[in-house]
Amino acid sequence: MYRVEQVLVPLDFSNFSRSALALAKALGGESPVRVQLGHALEPMAPYMRRVLFPYAALGEDDRAFEAELVEEARAELERSFEIDDTLRRRLVSEPIVEIGPGRQVVSDWTSRFDVEAIVMGAYGESGLVSDGLGATARRVLQTSSRPVILVRQHDPRPQLKRIVVALDLEPTSAGVLEVALGMALQHGCELELLFVLPSPLAADSAGLLKSQVKFDERQARGRLKGKIEALFERTVEAVEVPFPQRDQARKLTDNTRVESGEPAAEIVRRAYEIDADLVVVGARSSASTGGLGTVAEAVARRASCHVMVVPPAAQTTPLTRDD
């Protein structure tokens, strides 16, 4: 059963990073998770090296200067994020600082550290961007083998109370549900299982198909009700739950809902409607060939609450140390 025990939190001194750290510290419920902090220092541009170290070729070593930058950045992390004794006891190791492009360094960390999730701001120091997702966050979503929680809301004392798990009811949905159910059990959350029946008219913004395609969403959902319920049941049964938690898990997974329309829009709308704290969605469907799926990316960009994206690798491999 999925359970979060250690998380990686990339920090860049932005308010979004502060929000990510606050959420990471709140994870685990009565058994707080351990935290690995990291900061990527952007490499110095070649022209800056030539100006600052004109005699490097004659023996002056700019590596010593880089080492000083790393140490100063580590000290600034401790000051800015108030790494006191309480937090230090929860650190996996000392905060790591490495020089390199942020989006590449953070992606490398996701495969290096033994964590169950990455918790990071949806944006970085550049702030809000037009497409609703920072460049580093997008890169991590595309490459991470572990679930990624994108943090949007700031709360000094964040809590997870209500989770919406978006399922396409394909075979890989069981892996997404396992992650969401594990989070709900660990944190005592309410859980809603949401399936969106795609409407052929969802993308017909000009209304060109309405007169040509006869599609009654209510009738379609009625005719497919039995099949959808069977797919929900198959997905739930595919998740292995430890015996002591089975009754609770069954109650949580009994809460299902079906909507119709454009999947990402309906997922975001439903999360807002019930004031969800977290949306859990698969990175892509089993039919996708790679990268980040269009639904997952759209939800990550549009949702007003935190979003947890579960990659295919995490949907098919054990994620806990003590299953």
The C-alpha angle with vertex 256 and arms to 252 and 261, in degrees rounded to 5, equals 145
Could you tell me the pTM of the whole model?
A: 0.88
- Same domain, yes or no: 46 and 192: no
Q: 143 and 59: one domain?
A: yes
Domain identity same for 243 and 316: yes
- Which residue range is the domain that position 282 belongs to? 160-323
Kindly state whether residues 181 and 88 are assigned to the same domain: no
CA atoms within 13 A on the CB side of 21: 24
Q: What is the predicted pLDDT for the residue at 133?
A: 84
- Residue in 161, 182, 170, 322 with CA at minimum distance from that of residue 239: 182
Is residue 189 helix, strand or coil?
Answer: coil
Are residue 232 and residue 271 in the same domain, yes or no? yes
Residue where one domain finishes, among candidates 97, 132, 151: 151
> pLDDT of 81-103, one tens digit each?
989 999 999 999 999 999 998 88
Same domain? For 116 and 219 the reply is: no
For residue 98, give the H/E element and its range. Answer: strand 96-99
CA-based nearest residue to 316, from 192, 179, 196: 179
Tens digit of each residue's pLDDT (9 = 90 or more) over 40-54 = 998 877 777 777 777
- Mean pLDDT score of the chain, rounded to an integer? 86
Cα separation of 29 and 91, whole Å?
17
Looking at the fold, whether 129 and 68 belong to one and the same domain comes out as yes
- 250 in the same domain as 133: no
CA distance linking residue 147 with residue 240, whole number of Å: 19
Of residues 323 and 247, more confidently modeled:
247
Q: Which of 105, 125, 151 is the last residue of a domain?
A: 151
Whether residue 147 is found in the same domain as residue 166: no
Looking at residue 86, the DSSP 8-state letter turns out to be H
Residues 181 and 279 in one domain: yes
CA distances to 32, 43, 74, 106, 262 from 98, rounded to whole Å, are: 27, 9, 10, 10, 41
The tens digit of pLDDT for each residue in 263-290 reads 999 999 999 999 999 999 999 866 555 6
264 and 194 within one domain = yes
CATH number of the domain bearing residue 217 = 3.40.50.620
- DSSP-based three-state secondary structure for 118: strand
Which positions ≥6 away from 97 have C-beta within 8 Å? 38, 39, 40, 41, 70, 73, 74, 77
Domain count, the chain: 2
Q: Pick from 119, 151, 183: which residue ends a domain?
A: 151
Residues 187 and 304 in one domain: yes
